[in-house]
């Protein structure tokens, strides 16, 4: 499971404060802690924490790279913010550009721009593409799959390695009225997106969004994560500090025969 640690995001108050105070230590502690707990990538999102998004993402990336070599997932829907992040990113460690829709009302070429940026950054830099287009976030299964198909096709046209492509079918808060059908739709879409190409693109999602505003957030997150993994989701943007969630990841991988069972398999998973 490719886990992307979600904590370095300006939406969290500690990160917002650290950005305001230019306090590197808070960011660096979050980076090392998430790495220790199993993050394969560290998501970095300025959010609304600063007006100067470009300068701030660079400051965050540089602060993280001072203390660990975990690949960074630059998180912004604005190509110029991603581009600013890429200027200071050590792409030899790998990286991720998160995220682009298929197209936007005011930017028909946004996916092309992301692919170009990833290609220029080097062979270890991946892309997360959302099953979303100029009409917004689709609610049904078919539109999600259709958009994913167009994304895959575009990647192939641009000679972009499909194994560097992560498709995010966009999970919405389950608490929103009439949204309870969405988790099932996501699973059905994942089932179909897997057959779009061989090799298949990776599948990822911003898991915590699912439980936005709900009670039992951790329980909702980890239950759906196990369900999604069984359907072929092989990545997620998650709170790796959530111990119970991480135990679910280890157990699901073991039950899917991706990790050898041993009585101490939880410990073994953490070690690797």
Partner 1 sequence: MPIPDLAESFVGAVNKVTLGATKEQGGTRTSTITVGGAKNVVYAGSPGDAGEKPVIAMDVLDVKPEDWPDILAEPYGDVLDNPAQWAKKCIDEFGADLICLKFEGIHPDTQDKDAEHAENVTKQILEAVGVPLILWGCGNNEKDNLVMPKVSEAAKGENCLVGTVEEDNYKALTAIALADGHHLITAAPLDINIAKQVNILTSDMGFPLEKIVTFQSTGALGYGIEYAYSIQERQRLAALSGDKMMAMPMICDVGFEAWRAKEAKTVDAPEWGAAQDRGPIWEATTAVCLLQAGADIIRMRHPRAVKAVKNFINQIWK
The residues that touch partner 1, with contacts defined as CB under 8 A, are 156-157, 159, 161-162, 198-199, 258-265, 267-268, 271-272
What's the min distance (Å) between Cβ of 259 and partner 1? 7
Nearest in space to 93 (alpha carbons), one of 56, 55, 67: 67
212: left (phi over 0), alpha (psi -120 to 50) or beta: beta
* Nearer to partner 1 among residue 139 and residue 200 (C-beta): 200
Please enumerate in sequence order all residues whose Cβ is within 8 A of that of 91, keeping only pairs 6 or more positions apart, or say none.
121, 122, 124, 125
Shortest separation between residue 42's beta carbon and partner 1, angstroms: 19
Nearer to partner 1, 106 or 264 (CB): 264
SS3 72: strand
Strand partners, 3: 236
The alpha carbon of 119 is separated from its chain's Cα centroid by a whole number of angstroms, namely 19
Q: How far is the CB of 200 from partner 1 (least distance, A)?
A: 11
Shortest distance in whole angstroms from residue 37 CB to partner 1: 16
Instruction: Give the largest CA-CA distance in the chain.
Output: 55
The C-alpha atoms of residue 70 and residue 106 are separated, in whole angstroms, by: 34
Closer CB to partner 1, 123 or 184, in the complex: 123
The span from the CA of 207 to the CA of 186, in Å, is: 12
Q: Which is nearer to partner 1, 216 or 263 (CB)?
A: 263
Query: Residues of 23-53 as b/e, b for ≥16 C-beta within 10 angstroms?
Result: ebebbbebbeebbebbbbbbbbbbbebbeeb
Give the span between the Cα atoms of 46 and 49, in whole angstroms: 6
Comparing CB distances to partner 1, the nearer of 17 and 120 is: 120
User: Which C-beta is closer to partner 1: that of 17 or that of 163?
Assistant: 163
* Chain centroid, CA 253 distance in Å: 19
Min dist CB 198 to partner 1, Å, is 7
Beta carbon nearer to partner 1, 22 or 267 = 267
Residue 208 CB, shortest distance to partner 1, in Å, is 26
Please, what is the minimum distance in Å from the beta carbon of residue 187 to partner 1? Answer: 25
């Amino acid at each position: 499971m490719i886990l992307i640690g979600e904590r370095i995001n300006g939406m969290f108050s500690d990160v917002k404060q650290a950005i305001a105070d230019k306090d590197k230590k808070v960011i660096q502690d979050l980076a090392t802690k998430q790495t220790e707990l199993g993050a394969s990538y560290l998501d970095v999102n300025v959010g609304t924490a600063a007006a100067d998004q470009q300068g701030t993402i660079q400051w965050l990336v540089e602060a993280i790279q001072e203390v660990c070599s975990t690949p960074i997932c630059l998180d912004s829907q604005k190509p110029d913010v991603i581009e600013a992040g890429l200027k200071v990113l050590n792409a030899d460690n790998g990286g991720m550009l998160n995220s682009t829709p298929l197209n936007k009302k005011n930017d028909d070429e946004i996916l092309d721009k992301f692919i170009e940026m990833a290609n220029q950054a080097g062979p270890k830099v991946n892309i997360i593409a959302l099953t979303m287009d100029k009409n917004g976030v689709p609610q049904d299964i078919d539109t999600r799959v259709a958009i994913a198909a167009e994304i895959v096709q575009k990647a192939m046209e641009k000679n972009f390695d499909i194994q560097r492509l992560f498709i995010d079918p966009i999970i919405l808060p389950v608490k929103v009225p009439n949204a309870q059908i969405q988790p099932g739709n996501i699973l059905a879409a994942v089932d179909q997106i897997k057959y779009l190409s061989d090799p298949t693109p990776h599948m990822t999602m911003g898991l915590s969004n699912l439980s936005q505003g709900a009670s039992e957030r951790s329980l909702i997150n980890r239950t759906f994560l196990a369900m999604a993994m069984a359907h072929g989701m092989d990545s997620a943007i998650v709170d790796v500090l959530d111990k119970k969630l991480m135990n679910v990841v280890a157990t699901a991988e073991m039950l899917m025969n991706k990790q050898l069972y041993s009585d101490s398999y939880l410990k073994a998973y953490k070690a690797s």
